[in-house]
Each structure stands twice: as C-alpha cells, then as structure tokens.
Chains A and B, each alone.
Chain A
C-alpha cells in the first residue's frame, strides 16, 4: 500500500505540472480545465469539513457556492455599470478587486451557513439532508426570480476581476491564484482536522453521546464546522464565477450540491486530498467522456457505484488501504 502522504504529494505535483506543461505546448484550454478542477476542489474541501469530519450530509452546499458566485456577480455588476449597491439604507460602490470580493463571499456564505446550520442541526440523518436541500431550492428559485441581477439568465461579467500585481486574464496567472487558495484551504483544513476542535468534531460524528458526557456540546461543534465549511465553499463560488465570468441560478442547483458530495465520495470521505482527487477525476471525465457522449454522467454513475460497493474509502482508500470516515 502507498502512504497517504505520497499520494497527496503526487496529486499536488500533478496539479502544478499539468498547467505548466500546457504552457509549453500552448494549450490554454487545459489550464482553464485544471483551474476548474482546483476551484471545485476548494468547494469540496469546504464540504469535506462538514461531511467528512462532522458527518453532516449537506445537500445544500450549492447555497454557499451560489452566494459566493452572486457576491462576485453583484459587486462586479455594479462596478461595470457604475451604479451603486443600496443595502440596508446605505449605498455601496461595486468593486472589481478580488480580495474584497472574496472577503464578501466568505462572510456572506458564513453568515448564511450559521443561520441554515442553526435551523438544520435541530434534525439529523435524512431530515438534515432534506432541510439542507430545501434551503438550496429556496435560494435557487429566489435567484431565478431576482430580475435585478438577471433572473434565470444570470449575469455576465465582461472582464475578469483584478488582483493587485497580476493580470488575471492570463489563464496561468488566474490558475496560480486559485492554486494558492487551494493550498491555503488544504492547510487550514489539515490543521483543523488535527487540532483539538477536529478531534472533538470527529468524535461528535461517531458518538455524540460520548462528547456530551465529557462535557462538550456536539451541536455547537457541528455548527461551527458547518459555518467554516460554508465559508470555504462560498470562496470557491466567487472563484468559479470569475472563471466563467458568468453567474447564474444553476450555481444554486441541488445537482451541484450532489456533485460535490459525489466527488468527495470518489476521492475519499474525510481524507485531506479526497476532494482534490475527486474534483480532478470529475473534471477529466466531464471533459473526455463529455466529448464522446452527452450521457457521460452514466459512466460517472458507474464509477460511483463501483466505489460505493467495492472501495468505501474512495480512491485514496484504494491506494492507501485506509478506510474512509463513516458518515
């Protein structure tokens, strides 16, 4: 069996090598593809904190992805139309600066996660899944009917937002930005998982009664995990919108929530690089199989089926011989 650390480093190196190779052979589209995988990986690393460590099967993480997307879309829309954003009786200017957009995306999705978490965590199991799904649908239909920002058609942002010192329109530079953020998020996630908080959260997933009898509140642990998780997924949403220079209600769709779960399961639930491997495979299949057939999801489904039946630890489990976290 291969040590997990080695698997992680290989994936890490691969994520860097492919875009660099793409520069050499002048294939900018490959860079965009890898960037897409990196952004989905960030979203899934976020979800993995709630799902893999906390055992919270959220079928509503598209809410945070979408909120991040719309945070970017709305701020950039006001900036490109030179209009002001009126909120709570105050007037704000739009912005094209990524750092500000990211901050807004993280805060907005974090706040939303705390409210949704507070209400959803009163339930567990199937009911938790259903409540998070319901929140997802609420946001989805709200976005569709929100005509100020394009309604069903979504919002186009003509020029990608800027980052001080970089030309984000150059694919490799935007990739670099996303890659650094993935590293930051992975590092945070690793620290958190090994920290006292992660230990307690991991126990709260397995035996909440035990956590209570040592004097800790499992609900509060899970709520904090849900907020951190939502905030990270929100950041990914802002990047995803910037990658496409387009925001639409589909970012809120429950299919997206489902895809995030699927790619965590494929990679390895609760494993640090599980979401990264899942995202890379997902984007690769989407690209290659999608070119062959419109029904490429069938093959994705087969892979998922094989993993659920024969390799419960996902691809990382298969390579390292470790079991995934039981949710």
Chain B
C-alpha cells in the first residue's frame, strides 16, 4: 500500500471534562474519498479543525505527505497542500465571486507583497481563478457580489477557492449542506472526478452522497472512531446502526 497523503495518529483533544477527540487515527490515501460521519456533537468539526491547524491537539499528531505538521500553522499547512472548505461559508461577502477566487490564486502564488500592480488585471491570477470557477459551474456569476449568492452557490465557491490552491489533499466540511437535490447531485458528480486529482476527507451529513462517493467511511461517536470500513461494511455494522444510522429511522 502507498503511504497515506494525510493521516492522524492517536489524536486527542479535551475541552475541560469533555473529550472531543479520543485517540483518533484516520488516514487518507491517494485517489480516495474517505468520509467521516457521525451524529451532531460527535466531534467532527473539532477533528477537522485540528487537522487543518486551527486547534492544537492535546496529544497525537497530524501528518501531511509523510511530514509531521502537528505544530504547523494553518497557513503553513495550506502552503504544504491542504485545501479546506468550510461548513459555514468563510468568504469575503463584500467582494465579488472572482475576487474571492483570486484570493485563493494569490495564496497559491505565495506572494501578496505586491503594492502596485492591479490584482484583477493579473492574468496569472485571474486565469487560474476563472478556470476554478468554470469547473464548479460558477463562471457566469464571476462578477456577482458574494453576499448575493445563494447558499448552494456559496458552497460551490468554497470548493472553487480550494481548487485554486491545487491541493494535495482536500478537507471538506459538509460541502452538500444546504444544496438542493439537483445541486447535491452535481457536486457529487464533481467530487467523484476530483478524487483522482487529490483525495478528499469528507465530513458530510447527506448519507446518499456519502454512500455514493466514499471509498471508506469512518464513524465518529463521542470523539471516538467506532467503526471504519467500506460502504458495505459500514452499512452492515451493528454498532453503527445502533449508534447512528438507527437514529435516522
């Protein structure tokens, strides 16, 4: 087996008496979509935040491309090839769609210290941004103010910004949330192709999407991975049914 692109080893995080992450070891291999599912409050977001550098774990480690990045900042991890989308859109609402994606391209270029040239006339930035918008199907909205986008379009824009970084691994926090059936289907198709480019660690509530996309699924309950396996294994797991799927009726 090839080495994982992204991995956590015995990750632990406590908030006072609450154990949010309990020795979580998961990995993400090239070409796959690894879904993390779990009921609300299972610690999915806390886990993702630690992987992306927003929170320091109490113990354990995070590895990106075989390198220990546990103490690296968020921006160092982004530069190393981690592309993230947010559950609650983190976009510059006052700016246009294109400006938001150009920011991603600017981050990828690594040099924001240009005070004179016009950012929006820089072909190397805008071409990259347009390509990303084209791929997620937002190109006709490139000049729309971000605040005027629908909820679903904001999710697409989140993905577009991550694309500009040409990441080695994606971490996506509920990209389907708030999308209609149609949008959800489109994004599912898109992520299906995207995995060949870079593997995706996918936190998602939409079970149809998860079962359609995931190569592997890990189930997180009370901060612990209670089961991990292929879609069929998870579907048939008794523990998972009790802890999670059963609740959905």
Contacts and interface: CB of A to CB of B under 8 A. Distances in A.
A200 B111 CA distance: 10
Interface residue tally on B, bucketed by range? 35 or more
A217 B112 CA distance: 10
Contacts of A325: 94
A203 B114 contact: no
6 contacts: A191-B116, A192-B115, A192-B116, A198-B115, A209-B54, A213-B75
Contacts of A198: 115, 119
Interface centre among A192, A207, A212, A325 (most CB of B within 10 A): A212
Interface of B: 52-54, 73-76, 78-79, 83-84, 86, 90-95, 99-100, 102-104, 106-108, 110-120, 122, 125, 161, 164-165
Contact of A197 (B79, B108, B115, B122): B115
Contact of A207 (B74, B91, B106, B112): B91
Given A214-B108, A215-B110, A209 B165 contact: no
Contacts of A323: 94
Given A202-B95, A209-B54, A210-B161, A216 B106 contact: yes
B99 A199 contact: yes
B118 A197 contact: no
Nearest to B114: A196
B103 A213 contact: no
A216 B92 contact: no
A215 B95 contact: no
Contacts of B117: 195-196
Contact of A195 (B78, B100, B107, B119): B119
A45 to B, nearest CB: 15
Nearest to A218: B75
Contact of B95 (A191, A194, A206, A211): A206
B106 A214 contact: yes
B120 to A, nearest CB: 7
A217 B75 contact: yes
A326 interface: yes
Contacts of B84: 213
Contact of A214 (B52, B93, B104): B104
Given A195-B115, A199-B103, 17 more contacts: A191-B115, A195-B117, A196-B106, A196-B112, A196-B125, A199-B99, A199-B112, A200-B112, A210-B90, A210-B92, A212-B53, A212-B78, A214-B104, A214-B165, A215-B107, A216-B107, A323-B94
A91 to B, nearest CB: 36
Contacts of B112: 196-197, 199-200, 216, 221
Nearest to A324: B94
Contacts of A212: 53, 73-75, 78
Q: How large is the interface on A (under 10, 10 to 19, 20 to 34, 35 or more residues)?
A: 20 to 34
A202 B92 contact: yes
A217 B106 CA distance: 12
Q: What are the nearest 3 A-B pairs in CB distance?
A: A214-B107, A215-B78, A212-B74
Contact of B120 (A194, A209, A211): A194
Contacts of B107: 200, 211, 214-216
A217 B104 CA distance: 13
Q: Describe A's contact surface by its main secondary structure.
A: helix
B224 to A, nearest CB: 27
Contacts of B103: 199-200, 203, 210-211, 214
A207 B108 contact: no
B95 A203 contact: yes
Nearest to A206: B92
Nearest to A224: B113
A197 B112 CA distance: 5
B114 A197 contact: yes
Contacts of A199: 99, 102-103, 106, 112, 119-120
Nearest to A188: B115
Contacts of B125: 196
A325 B92 CA distance: 11
A224 B115 CA distance: 11
A94 B165 CA distance: 53
Interface in A160-195: 191-192, 194-195
A215 B86 CA distance: 15
B90 A213 contact: yes
A70 B90 CA distance: 44
A326 B94 CA distance: 9
A85 B52 CA distance: 53
Nearest to B76: A215
A200 B118 contact: no
A215 B108 contact: yes
A194 B108 CA distance: 19
B161 A214 contact: yes
Contacts of B99: 199
Nearest to A270: B94
The CB with the most chain B CB atoms within 10 A, among A202, A214, A323, A325, is that of A214
A200 B112 CA distance: 7
Contacts of B122: 196
B90 A200 contact: no
Contacts of B78: 212-215
Nearest to B106: A196
